[in-house]
Chains A and B, each alone.
Chain A
Amino acid sequence: MEKKRSGLSVLLAGLIKENPVLVLILGTCPSLAVSTMAVNGIGMGVAATFVLVCSNIFISLLKDIIPDKVRIPCYIVLIAGFTTIVQLVVKAYFPAIDKALGLYIPLIVVNCIILGRAEMFANKNSVWHSTLDGIGMGAGFTLALLVMGSVRELLGSGTWFGMPITVNAIDPMLIFILAPGGFFVYGCTIALVNRLSQGKAIKRKSFGCEGCPSAAACGNVVNERKGE
């Protein structure tokens, strides 16, 4: 990743090859929670993309100023600021989306994708590439939410973006818009991506959020430290 990359490849990486939700397995909580309807998925995706692009730009700009030791708190404050902006804008102009997403809008601040990209990409790349990475990753997040949201909405309520599709012909399977359906659809989607990519995508053997400060919880670091 340290090699020179063209802007286009940075932009496209997030969309499919390094899709944050389906390949990097970041941001699982919001992906599961808001993908009950396609429109919610888009709303969440756009909100998170805005925060991601802004935080990537600013962290990339400030990467030489922020001392290394306190970088995580600095990133969190920056991200929290942008999250608050989104929260207020959504509340003022899109009350329906605010109601549907509720708690998950303020929780964008602890979304691993954003902190993860700050740590993995924005603090060692140029502003231009960081912007593109933010747009690409945000689009990838939105795409994954849209796919999962469409599947769950179609199976769970028989509609798509609120339009009735199969609801009159087949009884919708309510379970898909409830919690178990979320886990199920997410698992199947990742399996499908694994199958289609056939090892071309970056293989992830287990869960992990290397970029986020909870990284140690998601890997072997805990066991290593315990063994000291």
Chain B
Amino acid sequence: MDLSKIGIILLSGVLVENFVLAKFLGICPFLGVSKKLDSAVGMSIAVTFVMVMATAATYPIYANILEPNNMGYLQTIVFILVIAALVQLVETVLKKYVKSLYQALGVYLPLITTNCAVLGVTILHFDKGYSFGEALINALGAGLGFLLAMVLFCGVRTKMESAKITKSFAGIPITLLAASIVSLAFMGFSGMV
């Protein structure tokens, strides 16, 4: 696998096929945790971490166990269970051995189990026919794209707090409209790769 291919996969994950703004995956944390910068960054790093770990765990299971035995239809059940168990495991290991990392990411980890972005990324690898290495890079790119979207949107929301907003639009609707404009900016990247 050459460097340019790695670059393309990474770039398309971060910008062109941004998970939140182009694919609508992981909208709940995107809208829920983007109020403060530190929690937005913490959540995104935790998501990136789990995405890469989950890919590393589910890819071999699908390619070596499910696929050869014609059990591809079990993908959804197996993946969600593996991800749930993995998150639990990572949390326990971090708590015991890497205290500092646990303090930074620990609170976000259990919330990620049923994040559709994580399950989505593990399934998407197979739709796109990536190899194991490419899948890992794609997962990293998707996570970084999530981070970028979160940080950008956090800035937008901080500004919005001081704005006066019509009653019907206050709260959720105006946040969605702001997301629409941020997403419009990301449209500029389409067709780049």
The stretch that binds B, out of A54-62, A79-87, A122-130, A152-160, is: A79-87
What secondary structure prevails in chain B residues at the interface with A? helix
Point out the residues of chain A lying under 8 angstroms from B120, CB to CB: 103, 107
- CB contact between A110 and one of B33, B81, B115, B179 (< 8 Å): that residue: B115
Contacting pair A187 B26 (CB below 8 A):
no
Contacting pair B177 A214 (CB below 8 A):
no
A222 with B33: in contact, given A183-B183, A186-B176 (CB under 8 Å)? yes
Q: Is B21 an interface residue (CB 8 A)?
A: yes
The stretch that binds A, out of B7-15, B56-64, B106-114, is: B106-114
Q: Is B6 an interface residue (CB 8 A)?
A: no
What secondary structure prevails in chain A residues at the interface with B? helix
A-B contact count (CB 8 A): 169
A32 with B111: in contact, given A109-B76, A179-B187, A194-B168 (CB under 8 Å)? no
Chain A residues at the B interface, C-beta cutoff of 8 Å = 25, 28-30, 32-33, 73, 76-77, 80-81, 83-84, 87-88, 102-103, 106-107, 109-112, 115, 175, 178-184, 186-188, 190-192, 194-195, 204-209, 212-219, 222-223, 225-226
Chain B residues at the A interface, C-beta cutoff of 8 Å = 21-29, 31-33, 36, 39, 43, 73-77, 80-81, 84, 107-108, 110-116, 119-120, 123-124, 127, 167-169, 171-177, 179-181, 183-184, 186-187
Q: What are the 4 closest A-B residue pairs judged by CB atoms, nearest first? A: A187-B176, A218-B32, A183-B180, A191-B173
